[in-house]
Every structure is written in structure tokens, then in C-alpha cells.
């Protein structure tokens, strides 16, 4: 019997695409997989255990080794800088990190304020631009901040741009493109080498096939 591998999956946006990808790679996940409210799902016939976590927490589970593998957005990886191997670009959940704000506005000269869910990424970006800013950490609905005067700009992920538009915000700069990645704990990468290599190979085949189909 092969070793059990534990995979941390992000709830929400990425989840369904990730499940689809695993199915395309030939993993037999039960049909009720997506609808379950369970936080731990065992798929005995694949010797896999899935844990469903907040996207920001996937890396924490993997770094501490309670999950061998995880699927995480590059945005979270840039923000958290966890000690895990980034093995594969799954090329799902495309989006990008951007600076946005109210149209035709300038940032405050004295103390420009940036609201974001990604304080480290935002701080690093403005440092590189040579701008001194003050970061305000928010946990969601970042678009509110400039609307009600909490900040001059926001740094957030943009996928279609609809949320920005509907709230009357415009994009100022694009920071970096984001896709989801397969990450692995450094110990699991060695101790469960065979199972992980197999998963990586099967997923790569699917991803490359997809790339050919949708150039």
C-alpha cells in the first residue's frame, strides 16, 4: 500500500479549478467532493487526504508539515514567504496584483496611505518604486478603503476588473501576474518522493496539454 499524502486545498475561488485539474490528472475524487462541508476528506482509493483551509493558511499547514502538499495562489506565497518548495505552476486562477484607487487622484505627499490584504507585497513594491507609504492592513472588501477615505490607494488582486469598475475605482499599476502553484513541504519532498513525483508528472502532463489547447 502506498503512503498516505495529505493535500491542503484552498477554499473558495481556486478550489473548483484545482479539483478539476486533479480529476483531469486521473485522480478519482468522489462526485460529492465539492459540495461537502467537511474540513477533512479522505479519498481512500487514492490514498489521499484533503484538508480544506483558508487560502492564506494553506502554506502554514504545508510549512509545518501537517499537510505534505498544498495548492496556493502566488499572491499568498509572495506575502507569506513560507519555507516550502514551489514545484509547479498549475496555470489556474489567473489574476494579478495591482495598485488601484479613485480616478484622477494623486497620492498624499506627506503620508500616502495604502490599504491592502498583502502588507508585505505592498511595502516591498512601493519600496522598490522609491515611495514612502504607510500600509494599512485590511482583511477583505479592500475597495471600500479609498471610497470612504481610509487610503489613497489599494493593493489587491484583480481578475476581471469588475469589482474595481463597479466601485468606481481604476487600476494605476500592475504589480505581478498570479496563478496557483503546487507547493510541498521540504521533508515530505524527500520522504514521500515517489508519490509526489508521480503527482507532479501527472499534473504537468495535464497542464502542458491545456497549454497546447488554449495557446
Partner 1 sequence: MFEKPLGMRDTLPELYETKDHVRSSIEEEMKRWGYQFIETPALEYYETVGAASAILDQQLFKLLDQQGHTLVLRPDMTAPIARVAASKLLKDDMPLRLAYSANVYRAQQREGGRPAEFEQIGVECIGDGTVSADGEVIALMISSIKEAGLADFQVSVGHIGFVQEFFREILGTEERANALMKFLYEKNYVGYREHVKSLSLSSIDKQRLLEFLQLRGGEEVIKLAFKLIENGCGAEAVRQLRQLWETISDYGEEASVKFDLTLVSHMSYYTGILFEVYAGSVGFPIGNGGRYDLLMQKFGKTTGATGFALRLDRMIEALGTLEKSEPVICILFSDERRKEAFEIAKAKRADGMRVVLQDINGVNNVDACTNKYADTIFLLGSAGRRPSS
Contacts with partner 1, residue ranges (CB under 8 A): 60, 63-66, 83-89, 181, 185-188, 190-191, 193
**Closest to 210 in 3D by CA, of 94, 50, 78:** 94
**Residue 18 or 145 with smaller CB distance to partner 1:** 18
| Smallest separation (angstroms) from partner 1 to the CB of 78 | 11
**Closest to 102 in 3D by CA, of 134, 133, 135, 143:** 143
**Residue 17 or 63 with smaller CB distance to partner 1:** 63
| Smallest separation (angstroms) from partner 1 to the CB of 86 | 5
| Smallest separation (angstroms) from partner 1 to the CB of 57 | 11
Whole-number Cα distances in Å, 53 to 32, 40, 41: 18, 9, 12
Torsion sign, CA atoms 116, 119, 123, 125: negative
| Smallest separation (angstroms) from partner 1 to the CB of 148 | 31
**Residue 28 or 190 with smaller CB distance to partner 1:** 190
Amino acid at each position: 500500500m502506498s503512503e498516505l499524502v495529505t493535500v491542503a486545498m484552498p477554499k473558495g475561488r481556486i478550489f473548483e479549478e484545482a479539483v478539476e485539474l486533479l480529476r483531469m490528472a486521473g485522480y478519482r475524487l468522489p462526485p460529492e467532493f465539492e459540495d461537502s462541508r467537511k474540513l477533512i476528506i479522505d479519498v481512500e482509493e487514492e490514498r489521499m487526504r484533503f484538508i480544506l483551509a483558508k487560502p492564506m493558511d494553506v502554506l502554514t499547514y504545508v510549512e509545518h508539515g501537517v499537510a505534505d502538499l498544498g495548492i496556493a495562489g502566488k499572491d499568498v506565497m509572495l506575502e507569506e514567504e513560507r519555507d516550502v518548495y514551489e514545484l509547479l505552476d498549475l496555470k489556474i486562477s489567473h489574476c494579478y496584483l495591482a495598485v488601484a484607487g479613485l480616478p484622477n487622484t494623486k497620492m498624499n505627499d506627506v503620508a500616502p496611505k495604502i490599504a491592502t490584504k498583502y502588507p508585505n507585497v505592498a511595502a516591498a513594491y512601493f519600496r522598490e518604486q522609491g515611495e514612502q507609504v504607510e500600509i494599512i492592513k485590511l482583511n477583505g472588501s479592500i475597495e471600500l478603503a479609498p471610497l470612504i477615505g481610509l487610503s489613497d490607494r489599494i493593493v489587491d488582486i484583480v481578475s476581471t476588473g469588475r469589482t474595481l469598475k463597479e466601485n468606481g475605482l481604476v487600476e494605476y499599476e500592475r504589480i505581478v501576474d498570479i496563478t496557483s502553484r503546487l507547493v510541498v513541504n521540504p521533508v515530505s519532498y524527500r520522504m514521500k518522493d515517489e508519490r509526489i513525483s508521480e503527482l507532479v508528472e501527472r499534473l504537468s502532463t495535464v497542464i502542458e496539454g491545456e497549454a497546447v489547447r488554449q495557446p
